[in-house]
Amino acid sequence: MSEWKQKRFWKTVSVAETEDGFAVELDGRRVKTPAKAALSVPGREMAEAIAAEWNAQTESVNPNTMPVTRSANAAIDKVTHQRAAVADMLAEYGDSDLLCYRAQMPTELVQRQAEIWDPALEWAADVLRARLEPRSGILHAPQNPVALAQLRGLVHEMTPFQLAAFHDLVAMSGSLILGFAAAKGWRPAEQIWEMSRLDELWQEQQWGQDEEAQATADLKRHAFLHAKRFYDFSC
């Protein structure tokens, strides 16, 4: 991790096409990941976004201002080496998807969940060919194994770069279906993020907003929107 604390030593940042994608160069020398692997990304747009982050650094490198670089590093150093395990872990969300566990009361919340979440489940049944069924209450009830197998197959089709982004889309929302909905552009990412927070927003309406909880939600929102941007770069 010492390289993240380095001072800015370069004057120019450029993008170079390589045999397997695009690289970012500092004064003609290619950037490497924290694990010393070549930072080669699948598309020019992603490479240009990474280059812009490096070019924006001033006296020292601040990774907190380099989200695209960090996501690319994760895809190369982590996801690439455990791609199947990451895909399996994300696919498991389908059997306990946020959208499928509904309140039993009050009636207004029950109706709101159905109004906002049912269209996402219908979209998944139509586009992803996987129908998940909602349940009342919080007790786990297994989903149709055929639907789960279909969703698992779709996750396993993703590249390491797509999986790196998809991980955050699913983990931040708590929903495999909303992760797919964001990735495939069913609705704007901001709207899908709000759908994932339906229960939290309901609580805020009833009891008021908690500043600390809102600050945490804002951080997650930024991470979710970045994940959507990175996923689009990866396609």
- Do 86 and 132 have their domain in common? yes
> Who's near 89: CB < 8 A, 6+ residues apart?
none
Taking Cα atoms as reference points, which of 161, 165, 154 lies closest to residue 21?
A: 161
Given pLDDT bands bounded at 50, 70 and 90, which one contains residue 205?
confident
- Residues 154 and 128: beta-carbon distance below 8 Å: yes
> What percent of the chain is modeled with pLDDT above 70?
98
Range of the domain at 51: 2-66
In a domain, 73, yes or no: no
- Do 36 and 106 have their domain in common? no
Say what the pTM is: 0.94
- Residues 69 and 53: beta-carbon distance below 8 Å: yes
- Do 49 and 86 have their domain in common? no
Q: Which tens digit of pLDDT belongs to each residue from 168-179?
A: 999 999 999 999
Q: What are phi and psi of 53, to 5 degrees?
A: -65, -45
pLDDT at 4 over 60: no
- Residue matched to tokens 């600390």: 212
Q: Which tens digit of pLDDT belongs to each residue from 18-65?
A: 988 999 999 999 999 999 999 999 999 999 999 999 999 988 889 899
- Do 209 and 177 have their domain in common? yes
- Do 215 and 162 have their domain in common? yes
pLDDT, position 111? 97
What distance in Å separates the CA atoms of residue 23 and residue 220, rounded to the nearest whole number?
29
Given pLDDT bands bounded at 50, 70 and 90, which one contains residue 1?
very low
CA count, 13 A, side-chain hemisphere, 116: 21
